[in-house]
Amino acid sequence: MGLELVIFITAILFGIFLYWRESNGNGAYRFLNKMVNSKALQMSPNNPKGFIYQQSFLPRLVFVVSFVLLAALIIEFLTPIAVFSSYYGVSAFASFIVGTLIGTYLASFVIKTSEVIEEQSDSIEDRFEDVVEKGKDFIEDLKVRDPKVVEEAKEEIKTNLEANKPSARDRLKDKGLL
């Protein structure tokens, strides 16, 4: 179980590496495309599609399975390691395929989100600067209040309260004590 987990994590990293490598250039895919297809069916020079990059699930699966199968056959016949002779070998083989596919989709997600963030960074920066400026203006408005106006308002409130307040004699008369 421990070795299979290590193989799975390694396969995820391998899938990320494959996707990243193909996103930077697809020379091998172009070469294979030129060898297999006629001139009319060949891909355009500015098409970034590769074995894994910008492919749907099924072509990715076929490429990864064939690549891992070819590597397993080479290991099987050139080394004393028997990949297909036990359950553990087949399990590691399947684990490597699934991990590689997960790694390619993980790398695809990271690359696409980084592109979106780069596109949106300017507008987010402008919005943030506007919010900061509005906040500074608000704080200055709070700090720069005229103290005379505030004191006059407090005095008016006190005089209004005192003017409306009846005298002690009037209160006693109202209670009927005088």
Beta carbons within 8 Å of 102's beta carbon, 6+ residues apart = 11, 12, 15
Residue 146: predicted pLDDT: 61
pTM of this structure: 0.59
Give dist(CA 140, CA 122) in Å, integer: 27
Predicted pLDDT at 154? 75
Q: What is the dihedral of CA 22, 27, 28, 34, to 10 degrees?
A: 130
Surface-to-core class of residue 128, CB atoms within 10 Å of its CB (0-12 exposed, 13-18 middle, 19+ buried): exposed
Q: What sections of the chain are H helices per DSSP?
A: 2-24, 27-36, 57-78, 87-143, 147-164, 168-175
pLDDT digits (tens, 9 = 90+) for 15-42: 888 888 887 777 777 777 777 777 777 7
Contact 42, 34 (CB under 8 A): yes
Note the pLDDT tens digit of each residue in 93-126: 899 999 999 999 998 898 888 878 877 776 777 7
What are the domain boundaries of the chain?
Answer: 2-125, 145-175
